[in-house]
Amino acid sequence: AQTVTQSQPEMSVQEAETVTLSCTYDTSESDYYLFWYKQPPSRQMILVIRQEAYKQQNATENRFSVNFQKAAKSFSLKISDSQLGDAAMYFCAYLNAGNMLTFGGGTRLMVKP
Amino acid sequence: DAGVIQSPRHEVTEMGQEVTLRCKPISGHNSLFWYRQTMMRGLELLIYFNNNVPIDDSGMPEDRFSAKMPNASFSTLKIQPSEPRDSAVYFCASTIQGTRGYTFGSGTRLTVV
């Protein structure tokens, strides 16, 4: 079974600054996908970014980018120019070949004005 | 597209009562997942269906929990009898098998008193 670990229960960042959220995972598969989801207080699960394991290029979505290190099984999320609306819980998730999604424990991000 | 629709949004019930949570997946999606989110255990996969057939229910906590998908547009998660430790947010998600993209509903917050 796969496991996903987020070692930072809480992170804080100043508005307009950059923050990086960490995620590591354990798997013996070679074909998988990785995701970052955002969960604001409304509790809606919002897809932030996704990365295919077979792609070496790191995914980017506007202010959000990832640092995918396949050999190290690391998948961190960088948020640039942080905004107040970025404050939320962030979950790293692993999707296996059987289409089952496993989540990390989450990181609560606070953004200071 | 209305997205994945869950009802009710909130449910408060007394211990021992039967609770039924409902989910309508996105039209055309053929995989459906039920997740439970608690502070202690995070997001856990309870069960998932492909083409209305249960594929993996190993995450269902005990016999008090049951899930059905009578057709492609409707699924239920039932707890009978409910207990206070079942209090959680229950999410439904759907996808097209093989596309690697989940869409989550807004969740049902269940409180058992």
CB contact under 8 A, A43 and B89: yes
Give the per-residue pLDDT at A92: 97
Give tens-digit pLDDT for A1-10: 789 999 999 9
pLDDT given at position B1? 63
Q: Which among A50, A52, A103 has the least Cβ separation from residue B43?
A: A103
Q: Does B101 touch chain A (CB under 8 A)?
A: yes
Mean pLDDT for A69-84 is: 97
From chain A, the residues in CB contact with B102 under 8 A are: 47, 101
For residue A23, give how far its alpha carbon lies from the nearest alpha carbon of chain B (Å): 15
Tokens of B42: 């995070």
**Which H or E element spans position A22?**
none
B93: which chain A residues are within 8 Å (Cβ-Cβ)?
Answer: 45, 101
Res B26: pLDDT: 95
The whole-number average pLDDT for the span A69-85 is 97
pLDDT digits (tens, 9 = 90+) for A47-68: 999 999 999 899 999 999 999 9
Statement: residue B5 has pLDDT above 70: yes
The count of CB pairs under 8 A between chains A and B is: 39
Sort strands A88-95 and A107-112 into parallel, antiparallel or unpaired: antiparallel
Tell me if B42 and A103 make a contact (CB, 8 A cut-off).
yes
Share of chain A above pLDDT 90, in %: 88
Selected residue with higher pLDDT from A111 and B98? A111
User: How would you classify the pairing of strands A107-112 and A10-14?
Assistant: parallel
Quick: pLDDT tens for B80-105: 999 999 999 999 999 988 777 789 99
Question: So what's the pLDDT on residue B2?
Answer: 77
The per-residue pLDDT of chain A, averaged, comes to 95
C-alpha distance from A38 to closest chain B C-alpha (Å)? 12
pLDDT in tens, B49-87: 999 999 999 999 889 999 999 999 999 999 999 999 999
Q: Which residues of A touch B101 (CB under 8 A)?
A: 47, 50
CB B26 within 8 A of CB B92: no
d(CA A101, nearest CA chain B) in Å:
8
Query: Are B29 and B9 contacting, i.e. CB atoms less than 8 angstroms apart?
Result: no
Digit-coded pLDDT (tens) for B27-50: 999 999 999 999 999 999 999 999
Q: Does A42 touch chain B (CB under 8 A)?
A: yes
CB within 8 Å: B31 and A99? yes
CA distances from A110 to A8, A82, B106 (A): 12, 10, 22
Is the pLDDT assigned to residue A99 strictly greater than 90?
A: no
